[in-house]
Amino acid sequence: MAKHIELGKKGEELARKYLEEKGYRIMETNWRHDRDEVDIIAMDGDELVIVEVKTRSSDRYGEPEDDVGPAKESFLVRATEAYLEEKDLDIDSRFDIIAIILNKNQFRIKHIQDAFYPE
């Protein structure tokens, strides 16, 4: 497996564990709709949380969350709309980013709640 894919998988696992420790209930991981994928879908109380996980081995070229731009936001909104429709849900939702710097066995997690709002 390519190093960047392996790094991403480790980051997603750390993010899932982090959210569970914070009391979130994980509903889905790597949920797909067409070509769009949501890393983690969770419940925080009665709110649906769509989580994009970004993992890097260092912050040399910027913070991981900097990789979530308008195109990714639009993919996430589209996938969320499909998820809500598929599950027949009418609940509040928000978009979070979990940014992880993971180097060897050391890591830093930054949880950005309400990272962006759909237009």
pTM of the model: 0.93
Nearest 5 degrees, angle CA 9-CA 1-CA 56? 45
Tell me the CATH class for 3-62+80-112. alpha beta
Longest dimension (CA), the chain: 43
| Per-residue pLDDT at 118 | 83
Residue ranges of domains in the chain: 3-62+80-112
| Per-residue pLDDT at 4 | 75
Please write the tens of the pLDDT for every residue from 43-83: 999 999 999 999 999 888 889 999 999 999 999 999 999 99
| Per-residue pLDDT at 119 | 73
